[in-house]
Structure 1
Amino acid sequence: MRSLILAALLLGTAACSEQAAAPPEPSAEETIAKAEQQAERREEAVQNSEGLSDAQEFIDEIAVDGTVEIGMAKIAAEQASRDEVKAFAEQAITFNQSLLQDLSAAAGAAGALQVNTVLSDQDERNFAQLRGARSIDDMYLERTRERYEDMAEDLSEYAAEGEVAALKEWAAKAVPMLQDHRDELAAL
């Protein structure tokens, strides 16, 4: 009997030491809580710095504009009636995806900034309106011209007056690329 009790104690001790050797995996709730805390710290850092706050606002505007452009271009690439509009739309998808990737890299280099591409309800309604238009070609071209004007203004302004060096440098490089793309659009 004594030997059975000793064996049980030894097995229990061995099991406890094995469990102590491997730290437990965090639960899903703990992982989510940690991610939320990190996001809150980043937001606080951005809010506590006027330059970072302006930079985040700039990033948000450009990211949404680029995302909307990609969405509109996808619709035009599928539904436009003129081949040159479809070809431009395909280029616009590639251009804006590249623009967003470069923006994400610049935001990462700047530190606490993030690229957010949450679209408004109005943007979603505009997609639906474009999908249902009789002349997608003209509507797409007109809306793209307007959005590119806004993007060019935002990029030029940040390149000249921005406070975050990595974003300022990125914006200065993006301005001529956008201008080239706008020139192609003007030819349509």
Structure 2
Amino acid sequence: MDARTLFASLALATASFAFPAVAADSTQNFVDKAAVGGMFEVDSSKLAQDRAKDQQVKNFAERMIADHGAANEKLKKIATEQKLQVPTQPDAAHKSDLEKLQNTTTGFDQPYVDMQRSAHADAVNLFQSYANDGDNPGLKAFAAETLPTLKMHQQMIEKIAAANAAMPAVKSASTPKPPAPVPGANSFTEAQAKNRIQDAGYTNVTSLAKDDQGIWRGQAEKDGKNISIALDYQGNVFAGH
């Protein structure tokens, strides 16, 4: 065997051993994030059932306990069957958020709603990414099956947030950017939406269409990558939504 053939054989063998390790890390990372996120949904919503004042918030919390409780059990079953570790305790960030809710003596609803908006934006991105590019067939199917429910939850909490906070139709300098597009009557024309997205640093904005939530959605480029883009009625621009 000459040197060139030997090096090619070694490279092929190295690659065949390297790929499974990367796949396992990616799969375990998804399980970790999905599990701690699901635990937070249930635990925070149990607090909301007792302490929230708004009935819509209470109803939402009840739905979260049921839906995420079922999803958590399904994730645990699939992961255990494939000998993956499933976290049984929240990570530091979620533990901190739970402690904040537990220590809130007045005005519980708003911090709970804000945390739910952020949590569901993260969950939708996580499950969407794994449903598209996941390396474990069973968990990939689980992510794809669960994703529509997560998106429905996200729409529910955004409607609650918009109704309760009476957020302004146009974002001002003092208005913090929400974690996800806010549904509402959108007065931007297609040209105005395109200009606003371009002003946010994106180029080659195409396929813009307004959905039934009043959110302009399309494709754009940034840093050499083509990504999904969204513009809500406040003028907030989001990538990957």
TM-score scaled by length of structure 1: 0.70
Greater gyration radius: 1
Point out the structure with the larger strand share: 2
* Equivalent residue number for residue 118 of structure 1: 89
| C-alpha distance after superposition, 1:116-142 (max 9, x if no partner) | 132234433322211232211111011
Q: Runs of 4 or more off by more than 6 Å in structure 1?
A: none
Kept in 1, the 8 Å contact 2:52–2:109? The answer is yes
Tell me which of 105, 111, 136 is aligned to 1:164.
136
1:61 aligns with 2:61: no
Question: What letter matches 1:65 in structure 2?
Answer: G
| Counterparts in 2 of 1:184 and 1:107: CA distance versus 1, 3 Å | same
Which position in structure 1 is the counterpart of 2:47?
A: 75
Match of 2:24 among 40, 52, 56: 52
| Aligned mates of 1:120, 1:183 — CA distance in 2 | 26
Q: 1:116 to 1:176 in 2, by over 3 A?
A: same
| Separation in structure 1 between the aligned mates of residue 120 and residue 107 of structure 2, nearest angstrom | 20
Partner of 1:92: 64
Higher relative contact order (CA 8 A, sep 6+): 1
**Matching of residue 176 in structure 1 with residue 167 in structure 2:** no
State the TM-score, normalized to the length of structure 2.
0.55
The separation in 2 between residues aligned to 1:78 and 1:50, in whole angstroms, is 43
C-alpha distance in structure 2 between counterparts of 1:123 and 1:178, whole Å? 18
CA distance in 1, matches of 2:120, 2:69: 14
- Percent identity over the alignment is 26
Given that 2:36 and 2:94 are in contact with CA atoms closer than 8 Å, whether structure 1 keeps it comes out as no
2:103 matches 1:132: yes
Q: What amino acid sits opposite 2:113 in the alignment?
A: L
- C-alpha separation in 1, matches of 2:126 and 2:97: 21
Give CA deviations for 1:130-160 in whole Å, capped at 9, x if unaligned.
Answer: 1232211111011011011101101010111
Higher-helix-fraction structure: 1
Q: Following TM superposition, by how much is the alpha carbon of 1:108 offset from its aligned partner in structure 2, in angstroms? A: 3.4
Relative to structure 1, is the Cα distance of residues 164 and 122 closer, same or farther in structure 2, using a 3 angstrom cutoff?
closer
Cα distance in 2 for partners of 1:49, 1:122 equals 27
> For the aligned residues, what is the CA RMSD?
1.8
1:11 corresponding residue in structure 2 = none
The one-letter amino acid paired with 2:64 is A
C-alpha separation in 1, matches of 2:100 and 2:49: 16
State the distance in 1 between where 2:79 and 2:85 align: 6
2:122 corresponds to which of 150, 156, 166? 150
Structure 1 gaps of 5+ residues are 1-47
Contact residue 60 and residue 117 of structure 1 kept, 8 A:
no
